Chains A and B, each alone.
Chain A
């Protein structure tokens, strides 16, 4: 028998949802300051309207649903899944008012792409977008990369026991420090320190490349936010190709890589434990999968003679591959140029996108820890067949500490992997139903569901609305890693069918 949710559940969900929406509204003060400083009047009004609406919704929810009760697991998960949808709508208002979006759906697509750190964009005439709106696109990515709830937890909530439930709901099941609030504050500290260093590095490179000083540092900050949070938005329509600079590409590769590794690993590196880099199962898997998928891409490009020189092949092939593997989505080629790449190189890139980076990082997709666990389980089973029946077989792996492989971990890793594969193929099926070729549909669908942002040209203003909605759903589900979405579906089913 399914039990109908009580009014109390709705009240608690509404209250915390309201708080998070107010938090999103407060973040709009960043572009407001930018608009005031640069004298951009229209963007200022757009953001004031955005803040007004988010505060209105937030205050109404917190006042009507006021409660002092703490969240349980179900409520925590539902708050997380719903707050991503509410944040998407509220943040889309200033973007829509800018006039650079064909419809409100397009601006919602943009904000979901930002929050989920995907990087697919439907902005029209991006090269004439205001600084304030451009900054907002990148701030959204920064908030989404850290996790919307983490932001609320670390800045607007003093501490409560339901925090961990929402933290887990946002696909972060590992705590760097014993306390969740301290963990989220550590994540912020890491991000801010890297933000300063990354902006300086990119800004100085921009200056040396001949950019105007303000533009160099503005672009530096924006590109850092999008690269570290493995997002992929860029201030200009040409993406990274705009800069025509090898040093710029190298720095973004380093930042993308830093964004793709586990925050726990960052903590160990910060505390001087560099051996963890070589011992960690995720880092070993990452180096193996990068090598393997790059080989596929390189052979594919070489066979078709896409690039006349080996160095050129390496520069273009490796950049797109690292960008896809880390889930960033930065491109140094045009979307239509993927047509030249051929099937083998595209399959290599799709595999890289589908695998993703480390757990407890800002990347999406299946992730290295799960792949590592599945490989270890396979190894254990092969050993079991090869060795005598009485032999005691156990498998262990190193992830911050030595961990014995358990069936529970293998089951969980396999389930999530299966869900991701279904999500990738579901989106591809929708693409094919709408008339796009199989490989391109799979490419774009994997890119959306794995929160990557590379595009082979399907994502455009002219694509059907149903495909836009499909990609929004894929980005949302892929970013939250299924559990909170399944809980929300269960809650809705219980509300309809429950007694």
Chain B
């Protein structure tokens, strides 16, 4: 084959295919995994590590795992992987704690109701989101309280010491967020106030609670709270934990809301004053609706943090999801399956936190429109 020099008229050069090693799978591999010596060695090393660790982990988790069976004998087989029978046999306890079995429909109804109420919030064309949101924040907790705790409408009382598991985790974090939101808003407004005493009281409150670990707050509310009130005031253990969490969380909430207040241009405040609106009217009608919309992702993020932090209540003797798994681990009938318990708890927490954080990111992208400057 002879090589000829071809000449083309100006502008008539045909398009050639890109070199084969820059397209397709090979091109992708060269570009993303093997560009240069260092990267090649690094890629091979990482693949080697994955090859060593991932297949055994996968086998342990799924392939060799024992999925059912009422006692530990089913798991004492040669070569058996994870013993999910342990989780299976205690599942309802992990979800509801010591809640009476025949009354489980009550927390279930409360949960389903919440899910049903939340669905329209994700529908784009639904126009009453603010009203529904208000309903969920204000009315729903009351309904849920009467459903889960009982005490009227012919429902028997279930004492809070029977509550536990994932239900308690959700109750604690839900109450923590809902109750700390209004307090947080007031504190954030106080911190931006021009009245020196109001401002300094808010700053001291916020900085104090943000400066101490939640665990000391819980200790304090369980040890010191009974001392603070006149004798005869009896505090439920759960209520004490809730008060501690709300005080702690409202400080964080205040900082999130303050971020939103600062993001609103000064012109909005001035325009509201120019229209002759009073302080509360200008805040309630002009500034806060815009600011709160901006900080919804921030609120979701503090909710995630709180959701993870509720595990600390086990230290003051409440049985949230982690505590109840910890207790099940020390049960002599199922000794030696700690890892399974922790993996289960971790995956439950992970599913909740990961989906919420994805939601918060999506929301941020959606809401971050009018205020980009």
A and B bound? Answer: no
Residues of B within 8 A of A (CB): none
